[in-house]
Amino acid sequence: MVPYRLLYVTVADHAAGRELARRLVEEKLAACAHLLPLGQSFYWWEGDLVESSEMLVLAKTREDLAQTAIETIAGWHEYDCPCVLSLPIDAGFPPYLDWVTAETRAE
């Protein structure tokens, strides 16, 4: 079985999230991407405690595409230091995982 990854990416707003999700799928770096609703984020940035609204993009891809996707997202992203994480998928519905393979870039 091909290993899979879930990409977790925060973005500033709906427009940025929509653009990122669409580009990931168009570029076949992800088979599917979800834009989740606005949430509050709390973090330290340049010595200040920041409270901001952010959206979350979750994208499903293959493990062999994860690093390329991370680097591509970082290049597109508006943040200086974007939250882009790759999490392992250790199990899933086999026909769905086959679909992820079919809908992402050829190896």
Residue range 76-91, pLDDT digits in tens: 999 999 999 999 999 9
Residue range 25-50, pLDDT digits in tens: 999 999 999 999 989 999 999 999 99
Q: Domains of the chain (ranges plus CATH)?
A: 4-102 (3.30.70.120)
Tell me the whole-structure pTM to 2 decimals.
Answer: 0.93
Please report the sign of the dihedral spanned by the C-alpha atoms of residue 44, residue 20, residue 3, residue 63: negative
> Please, where are the H alpha helices in the chain?
14-26, 63-76, 94-102
